[in-house]
Amino acid sequence: MSDSIQLSLAQVIALETIAARGGGVSLRQLGDGAEHTPILDVYVTPLGSHEGVRITPDGTVNDIGETLPANG
C-alpha cells in the first residue's frame, strides 16, 4: 500500500485553481492499494472549510458537500 496520491495533469490544473482561492487544500484519494492502479478521483477540501469537491481524472470538478474539515 502506498500513501502517495497520483494526479493527472488535468487534476493538477484544477487543484491549482482551487488551492489559489483558499491558500491550501487537504487531499484524499480512495484506491485499492494496488501499485499500478489507474489514476483515480481525488477529493479536495480547501483549508478551513467543511465543503469539499471531487476532481475526476479529466479535471471535472464536482461539489460533494460537507466532508471532513481541512485544518491547516
Lowest mean pLDDT: which of 2-6, 8-12, 13-17, 53-57?
2-6
51: left (phi over 0), alpha (psi -120 to 50) or beta: beta
Alpha carbon 62 to its chain's center: 11
User: What predicted TM-score, i.e. pTM, was given to this entire model?
Assistant: 0.79
Q: pLDDT, tens digit, for every residue of 17-49?
A: 988 887 788 888 876 656 666 788 999 988 888
Helices in 1-72 by DSSP H: which ranges?
9-22
- Where are the chain's structural domains? 9-66
